[in-house]
A = this chain, B = another copy of it.
């Protein structure tokens, strides 16, 4: 469960909670500018938000983790090079176009960084680009360069909320999580919301801290935090070309305890990962699979991912239909080809605390069926209704609760485990992705 959040009754209540999370750590400012432009590839008006996250002065203490997709976006290509640079001064983030395999994409991104560098007074290699949106289109360089002065002029050091709002695409609401360690803090924002199966996802995450942790240690801690959080979620199994997590420390506050910092970062990442799933495209139910008793973590992760990625089970969850046959089938379709020697003889599976499988057979009856259906309904984020215009869209712009469809898979064959989060497969997902060029 998330460490800090709870249920919300209205968008206003959620916004107030977000505002309470949003205080920037010392040494950071953010600014956003919005503008219209016309993409070359599809000549229709489009809107872009350009967000700058700037340190007061460049820092040597930064870390990043990127997608493993073989066609990384230009920002990922540049970001990998920037990891070798001595310092990070600012990040320039745009939504709408992801700048992936666009002709000249790297050069355009570098020129925009150069312009931003001039405006904030840092070196061009101290500026990181970050982009999300349509894959294949080219960035509107002229319009972005023209908007940069407004974004820089908007830089303020009080709240990260405007930046959290600036980086989103199809997200229904901004996502902010924070943690306190001694006198310092960690504050992080994320952009979801589709093409989410990390290693990482079309997921941009920016984590800012004023706690002084040296570069090498910061990178080690980030890798660990990502594995148990952003690499343990899947909305639709699509690993994006742009997934990026960037962590920067302004070093303004001494870190009292590196282990405590690691735990706090892990919690922030887990909370934010769950936020990303909960606001995944079309997600009406968050599915949490806890696999225990596995001989190794890889098998536990594989089983968990297979369940949250099984389209038929995801559809059943969407319909509040406790079709647990599809759940067990999803376990079997992973184990059969990928771990054929695994011992499943002591396998027990529960959903919502109700045992549905043990001793090699299903344990079902009409009373359990009712209890399972009630559990599914209780985890629903909103009710789906057929729309008049044929396009399903979620009728909410805040998370009403943080409940999940809870699945426990106990293998009884070891001591390794994994917790994997995913979402259901809904009409809202299809509407979003069949009708919307994101």
Contact = CB atoms under 8 A, between A and B. Distances in A.
A357 B434 CA distance: 22
A311 B361 CA distance: 31
Contact of A329 (B241, B326, B385, B386): B241
A266 interface: no
Interface stretch (A12-20, A62-70, A174-182): A62-70
A336 B103 CA distance: 21
The DSSP consensus for interface residues of chain A is: loop
Which one of A40, A137, A197, A312 has the highest number of Cβ atoms from chain B below 10 Å of its Cβ? A312
Given A362-B103, A369-B41, A386-B390, A331 B70 contact: yes
Interface of A: 40-43, 67-72, 98, 100-103, 105, 134-137, 194-195, 197, 199, 236-241, 309-312, 315-316, 318-319, 321, 323-326, 328-337, 340, 342, 344, 357, 360-362, 364-366, 369, 385-387, 389-390, 392, 425-427, 429-435, 437
Nearest to A428: B430
Given A70-B344, A136-B325, A199-B336, 6 more contacts: A69-B332, A72-B332, A134-B323, A194-B312, A236-B312, A386-B390
A357 B342 CA distance: 42
Given A236-B312, A434-B319, A434-B426, A101 B69 contact: no
Q: Copy number in this complex?
A: 2
Contacts of A316: 433-434
Nearest to A319: B434
Given A105-B361, A199-B337, A315 B366 contact: no
User: Which 7 pairs, one residue from A and one from B, show the smallest C-beta to C-beta distance?
Assistant: A135-B325, A319-B434, A386-B390, A315-B433, A71-B332, A136-B325, A70-B335
B435 A319 contact: yes
Nearest to A324: B136
Question: Quick one: which of A323, A429, A431 has the most chain B CB within 10 A?
Answer: A323
